[in-house]
Amino acid sequence: MASDLAAPWPPEARGALVALLGAGPPAIGVWEALDQAGLIVRLLPDWEHVRNRPQRNPVHRFTVDRHLVETAAGAAALTREVARPDLLLVGALLHDIGKGRPGDHSTAGAALARDLGARLGFPGGDVQVLETFVRHHLLLPETATRRDLDDPVTIETVTAAVSEVPGRGREILELLAALAVADGNATGPAAWGPWKARLVAELARRAAAALSGGNPQPPPALGADRLALVRHDGAAVRVTGSRITVAAPDRAGLLWRAAGVLALHRLAVRTAHTVSSPATGADTAVLDFTAVPEYGTPPDPAALEADLRRMLADRLDVADRLDRRARSVRIRPGAAVPPPRVMIVEDASDTATVVEVRAHDRPGLLWRIGQALGACGLHIRAAQVDTLGAEAVDVFYVVDGAGAPITDSAALSAVRERVLDALG
């Protein structure tokens, strides 16, 4: 590559860039050598804004520029899974190019990607794909971990976003799915793991089916294994890897109460759903949790079941034990802990009110938020929990006593204040 390339680049120069990125991890050292020689900034002037820039979020293990190169190197292993490997590699290199600019980095990066795509000599349609790709590079991981995949609005939101370029929605979706993997792995273990990978893959699968004209995904049916739990008297628990299923007599606040018991057993809840089926009967609820041990091995299912039974019989003071755990967690002196935020997410569901809570993670956080929502007379239909380092983003799909979303502005304000009070 020559440093005096005129825009737009000739196809041979663009092909050389793609070939370098497609080499995978060996390309990282070559890129850094070119960068140290000042060639990258001469070829791509916008690189100057991310060069050696530190990350704001501690879950990142690399500076912004190194993260971009690492992501592109990781994307090289996924090029066979997409129709346009060149757009995947270049998009991976540019996905965070907006960091360091004013405003949202995805929006700023999209404009830069549009200009850089034209500079690199991509045709107009491909430039639009790159722009959309960068604008929505967080769409799949954030939606998968912060929205209910069983809510039709979730899939509609994704398909609308990837269809911004007419006729290329399926292509953009598969590019975003591959980037989610490469970006997550390049960020670090706190940002990517098996549970998130499964959620993203399932979201992409459902969105692809919708783009192909498939029917909406029906609510999950109860399998024979979970129906067997319903036949137990009292509470029953089944632990299969990170999946925990609880069948218990239905009662107000059952989901967050059960989540509190899981927290006592040092399980970090990632997703929680109330699974309904006529086969369960009106007096029994089935809860599905995805939860992982905070450390070590999973707890004994028998011990979990025993504590659940004690909780249902009001013989277990979950709140007191969680408070003792929370007090034992020490915050590093001088560490800044931002105040919690509670938001009502509009247009995220037609059948529930979506409450998003961002707060410093601590034992039993889901319990405390659920308790506050229960005090407002709300029922939690589903919960999604995304933890990035020490910060948690908890999203709750809630309905009132009649099973309807809350629309009154005063009631919504009261919900926000009640949750904020519970977070202290």
Tokens of 169: 């929605």
CATH top-level class of 334-424: alpha beta
Which residues, in sequence order, are CB contacts of 89 under 8 Å at separation 6+? 18, 21, 22, 72, 75, 76, 79
pLDDT at 334 over 60: no
Of residues 287 and 131, more confidence is placed in 131
CB neighbour class for 112 (10 Å; exposed up to 12, middle 13-18, buried from 19)? buried
Q: Within a 10 A sphere around the Cβ of 13, how many other Cβ atoms?
A: 17
Lowest-confidence pick of 195-209, 223-237, 387-401: 223-237
* Residue 418 confidence (pLDDT): 95
Q: What is the pLDDT of residues 402-411, one digit of tens each?
A: 999 999 999 9
Q: Are strands 267-275 and 341-345 parallel, antiparallel or unpaired?
A: unpaired
Q: Return mean pLDDT, the chain.
A: 88
Of residues 13 and 289, more confidence is placed in 13
pLDDT band (50, 70, 90) for residue 70: very high
* Residue 127 confidence (pLDDT): 98
Q: For the chain, where do the domains classified as CATH 3.30.70.260 start and end?
A: 221-316, 334-424
pLDDT band (50, 70, 90) for residue 342: very high
Tell me the average pLDDT across 303-330. 81
pLDDT at 331 over 90: no
Q: What is the pLDDT of residues 280-312, one digit of tens each?
A: 455 778 888 888 888 888 888 888 888 888 888
Of residues 227 and 88, more confidence is placed in 88
Tell me the average pLDDT across 273-282. 58
325's enclosing H/E stretch is: helix 318-328
pLDDT at 392 over 50: yes
Give Dmax (Cα) for the chain. 77
pLDDT at 95 over 60: yes
Which residues, in sequence order, are CB contacts of 422 under 8 Å at separation 6+? 368, 369, 371, 372
CATH top-level class of 11-211: mainly alpha
pLDDT band (50, 70, 90) for residue 223: low
Whether the bond into 8 is cis, omega within 30 of 0:
yes
Measured distance CA(200)–CA(182) in Å, rounded: 12
Sheet holding 391-399, edge to edge: 236-240, 243-249, 284-293, 267-275, 379-388, 391-399, 353-360, 341-345
CB-based contact 21:27 (threshold 8 Å): yes
Tokens of 423: 């977070």
Q: For the chain, where do the domains classified as CATH 1.10.3210 start and end?
A: 11-211
Tell me the average pLDDT across 368-384. 90
Lowest-confidence pick of 20-29, 220-229, 288-297, 323-332: 220-229
Lowest-confidence pick of 120-124, 167-171, 211-215, 219-223: 219-223
Which CATH architecture describes the domain 221-316? Answer: 2-Layer Sandwich (3.30)
Which residues, in sequence order, are CB contacts of 305 under 8 Å at separation 6+? 235, 236, 237
Measured distance CA(48)–CA(63) in Å, rounded: 13
* Residue 155 confidence (pLDDT): 96
- How large a percentage of the chain has pLDDT more than 70? 90
Measured distance CA(361)–CA(357) in Å, rounded: 11
